[in-house]
Structure 1
Amino acid sequence: MTYLAAPKRTPFIDVLQGAIGLGRKLGVVAPSTLEKDALMSAAVEQTGLDDFGDPWFTGPFSVLLDSIREEARLNRAGEFAARLQFGKVLADRLTAIEWYKRRPEILERSIPRPVVIVGPMRSGTTRLHRLLASDHRFSHMRSFETISPVPRLDFEKVLARKKRDFRPILASRVMRIARLANPRTLSIHPTGPFEPEEELGLLVNSMYGMKHEAQWRVPTYGRWCERIDATPAYRHLADLLRLVGWSQQVSEIRPWILKTPQHMLDLPALMEVFPDARIIFTHRDPKKIVGSAASLAWNQTAIYSDDVTPHDVGQEWLRKSVLQVERMMAARSLVPADRRIDVGYEAMDRDWQGTMARIYAFLDLDMAPAMSAMQNYVDRSRRLKRTPHRYSLEQFGLDEGEVRARFSAYATRFAIPEETGQPGAVATARRAGGAA
């Protein structure tokens, strides 16, 4: 079966837009000013802090704001959400720098031999990440930490009084609103406040990364980011990772499990900042990568703009996905051969235990102590009842033959088998959790 119509957003957004419009007329909702100086000044006033750290982030921030104004065509809800998002990111950045001043030992924490999963969007990176994160010999980000990586400045008092950290509560609220705006979110990327999550939010703290492109139509910004050296953003990511580890109160000798598709584009920066990283490259049938990535981006972009088409989204994520694999193939030699391994999506579907055994051998670790925790994750995921993530290339104006041709060198290089069956009917849901 082919799914020809791209899904529509829920009526919740139209109701929200009406409420925002009414609130502005009554003077209880502030205008969504998306100007850099105004946003930064508001964050300074809110926090009482004025040190944003390395000013590198103001470059991508300026380009992003220009691209939003000129290309994104945001609706009222989109403008409102963007103002809140930028305000939070800037406040987090100010607070992080203050933490480093108060607790300089945070920046002295080491990040030894991180295990970094590098693969295209929707290539099984989440599944692999969560399986490895179930092993308590590793450290990992949790979903509430990628939303709010920086604890409040009273965090130590909260811990001393054994009170609840507010960040998981905030994450629950954010996720609740996201699901009202688009109930397909749960099937596309199942998560919860304490689920293992990728570190893309740490790159967002530098106003850098593909999260913005999956959220808004900002092609000028995307191409600008593709041309620059992202090393400063990765250095800031590493410092935020040190802060997260300190706030988790875990040993710094535990290797981190990291993953985000952004690393496909930025392997040189990743290896510059984490020179002893061990890399797990994931691979999947390109037509599944492109179709699912376009679906993910469409389901977000359609919330924030009334003037974007599935065709626009499809063409952009075909281009972006091709660039990801080209950059990865060109730069993977930066990783010594004994510190990289390739894992196929289909192999994980067919035999997740055998594939994980191969990964643990690569990491020079005994898998036996982690086996029970990984099996618990698989069993728990199987019990969750979710609507399958269904999509097709045709929804986004894409042709299977063109996709196959654009990725032919990639598919040949890594002997990637073609997946068959219903679009989106991912076997993972039956075998190891259904997360992409």
Structure 2
Amino acid sequence: MVNLLTKAGLKTGLLDEPVLDRDILMDRARRIAGSDDFGDPWFVGPLDKLLESLRGEALLHDAGSLVAMKQIEKVLVDRLWAEQWFAAHPEIEARPLRNPVVIVGPMRTGTTRLHRLLSADERFTHMRSFETISPVPRPGFEPGSHDPRVDLAKRIRTVANLSNPRTLSIHPTGPMEPEEELGLLVNSFWGMKHEAQWYVPTYGRWCEQEDAAPAYRQMARLLQLVGWSQQASSLKPWVLKTPQHMMDLPALLTVFPQARFIFTHRDPVQVVASSASLAWNQTCIYSDHADPAKVGKEWLRKVSVQVERMREGRELVPADRRIDVHFEDVDADWRAAMRRIYDFLDLDIERAWPAMETYVARAAALKRKPHRYSLAEFGLTQRQVTSELADYIAAYGVSRERNAATG
């Protein structure tokens, strides 16, 4: 229905013809923002590869192409606005980013649950959903005033639910809910968010060979901007998480050398099935040719690469700054798991219990239908997954779950 409406809008001239050309999109962004300083030009490389994959592999329908164009245009405008903020308020980049706590694990390993439990503690600073969608305040914003980015996040959530109601079952959220900093990496056109939204394997493989440090330096600057816009104390450590960090631990450690890490683990049969389902439920929104078998094959490969990179990168982290947490342990007794994490962080957990209990109650109300999935939907078998990831299962004592039907 959305695609038919888009076709009608294009035919009548009510909508702009989708254009996925870097120079045209950058020129449009310059006109909207009234400036031409995009900051570090490193982002052009990832952007070019993304556009190449979108044109050649994603098989977007008209509505999908229009969304891609608008999304990229918005990120470019955000980059221009960000540089305006940094120029007008040099104190932003002077804000320290001390000892962040970083949750690192594949999609669907309980990273969101741990992130939101920690975010409930007022001793940490965290991103909110509307900020990862739009990390840069609009010109004229004043800290403490009404923020139109919240309204935009509400509209996007409504459209996402109409386009595919399953997306909010897979990842329940709301504009003010704690959310991962994925949008700060998207600001450099970097990372797996694009691979989960569109079928762009060439782009993904290109990113796997590149040094991500410039994207993480930009992420750090945007964290400073978000903290400033929140009027959050710069003495509080950030609690961060996104599966992308599995791929980029050397870059993350270069930018955040004192980070502390919580590594999450889960039965890879569940991880691969659930990751493929999440990606499929995104790609089918934007293309009429989304192939579940191709999605499944790609995400089995991607999870394997993630695990390999994580295992290599964690060796750079001193043993006293990392802890391993298993999904089934949190499922069985989240309070015991959180106490263990707080002991690792050398923090008193007692004062955090009321806020965590409040979050758990709110999460239960926010949760929609269970996320149901299976490997068979994506042309995969348990034998394939366990064979591919046997070393990981053995090295970390990962327990096999009884079924791979829900998550």
2:381 matched residue in structure 1: 399
Q: How far apart are 1:308 and its partner, in Å?
A: 2.0
For residue 34 of structure 1, give the secondary structure of its aligned residue in structure 2.
coil
- Amino acid corresponding to residue 143 of structure 1 in structure 2: S
Matches within 5 A, 1:164-175: 164-175=146-157
Matches within 5 A, 1:240-251: 240-251=222-233
1:382 matched residue in structure 2: 364
Q: How far apart are 1:178 and its partner, in Å?
A: 0.4
1:111 pairs with 2:91: no
Q: How far apart are 1:16 and its partner, in Å?
A: 1.5
2:397 matched residue in structure 1: 415
| Most deviating of 166-175 and 378-387 | 378-387
1:19 matched residue in structure 2: 5
- Cα deviation digits, residues 315-340 of structure 1 (max 9, x gap): 00000000000110111111100000
1:212 matched residue in structure 2: 194
2:159 matched residue in structure 1: 177
- Cα deviation digits, residues 270-327 of structure 1 (max 9, x gap): 1000000000000000000000000000000011111121000000000000000011
2:172 paired residue among 165, 190, 200: 190
Equivalent-residue separation in structure 2 for 1:228 and 1:421 (angstroms): 37
Equivalent-residue separation in structure 2 for 1:45 and 1:63 (angstroms): 24
Q: How far apart are 1:401 and its partner, in Å?
A: 0.5
1:132 matched residue in structure 2: 118
1:28 pairs with 2:10: no
- Cα deviation digits, residues 354-401 of structure 1 (max 9, x gap): 110000000000000101110111122234452100000000000100
Equivalent-residue separation in structure 2 for 1:384 and 1:108 (angstroms): 37
1:57 matched residue in structure 2: 43
Equivalent-residue separation in structure 2 for 1:203 and 1:234 (angstroms): 7
Equivalent-residue separation in structure 2 for 1:361 and 1:402 (angstroms): 38
Q: 1:183 to 1:98 in 2, by over 3 A?
A: same
- Cα deviation digits, residues 217-276 of structure 1 (max 9, x gap): 111100000000000000000000000000000110100000000000000001000000
1:262 matched residue in structure 2: 244
Equivalent-residue separation in structure 2 for 1:385 and 1:88 (angstroms): 30
Equivalent-residue separation in structure 2 for 1:285 and 1:193 (angstroms): 31
1:314 paired residue among 276, 284, 296: 296
2:284 matched residue in structure 1: 302
Equivalent-residue separation in structure 2 for 1:172 and 1:24 (angstroms): 25
Equivalent-residue separation in structure 1 for 2:300 and 2:155 (angstroms): 33
Equivalent-residue separation in structure 1 for 2:385 and 2:403 (angstroms): 17
How many equivalent residue pairs? 407
CA RMSD, 1 decimal:
1.0
Q: 1:384 to 1:57 in 2, by over 3 A?
A: closer
- Amino acid corresponding to residue 240 of structure 1 in structure 2: L
CA contact (8 A) 2:102 2:260 kept: yes
- Cα deviation digits, residues 154-178 of structure 1 (max 9, x gap): 012x74xx4x210111000000000
- Amino acid corresponding to residue 134 of structure 1 in structure 2: A
CA contact (8 A) 2:121 2:352 kept: yes
Normalised by the size of structure 2, how large is the TM-score?
0.99
Q: How far apart are 1:181 and its partner, in Å?
A: 0.2
Q: How far apart are 1:31 and its partner, in Å?
A: 0.6
- Amino acid corresponding to residue 213 of structure 2 in structure 1: T
CA contact (8 A) 2:173 2:366 kept: no
CA contact (8 A) 2:169 2:367 kept: no
1:98 pairs with 2:80: no
1:7 matched residue in structure 2: none
For residue 131 of structure 2, give the secondary structure of its aligned residue in structure 1.
helix
Equivalent-residue separation in structure 1 for 2:114 and 2:382 (angstroms): 27
- Amino acid corresponding to residue 42 of structure 1 in structure 2: R
1:43 pairs with 2:26: no
1:150 pairs with 2:111: no
1:431 matched residue in structure 2: none
- Cα deviation digits, residues 30-82 of structure 1 (max 9, x gap): 11011000000000011101100000000010111011111111001110100
For residue 346 of structure 1, give the secondary structure of its aligned residue in structure 2.
helix
1:230 matched residue in structure 2: 212
Give the unaligned 5+ runs of structure 2.
none
Normalised by the size of structure 1, how large is the TM-score?
0.92
- Amino acid corresponding to residue 101 of structure 2 in structure 1: V
Q: How far apart are 1:153 and its partner, in Å?
A: 1.4
1:433 matched residue in structure 2: none
1:354 matched residue in structure 2: 336
1:123 paired residue among 109, 132, 141: 109
- Amino acid corresponding to residue 223 of structure 1 in structure 2: R
Equivalent-residue separation in structure 1 for 2:82 and 2:122 (angstroms): 26
- Amino acid corresponding to residue 98 of structure 1 in structure 2: Q
Equivalent-residue separation in structure 2 for 1:86 and 1:298 (angstroms): 21
- Cα deviation digits, residues 179-218 of structure 1 (max 9, x gap): 0000001110000000000001000000111011111111
Equivalent-residue separation in structure 2 for 1:102 and 1:381 (angstroms): 39
- Cα deviation digits, residues 4-52 of structure 1 (max 9, x gap): xxxxxxxxxxx22112211122112111011000000000011101100
For residue 324 of structure 2, give the secondary structure of its aligned residue in structure 1.
strand
- Amino acid corresponding to residue 20 of structure 1 in structure 2: T
- Amino acid corresponding to residue 141 of structure 2 in structure 1: F
Q: Which contiguous aligned blocks of 4+ residues in structure 1 show a shift greater than 6 angstroms?
A: none
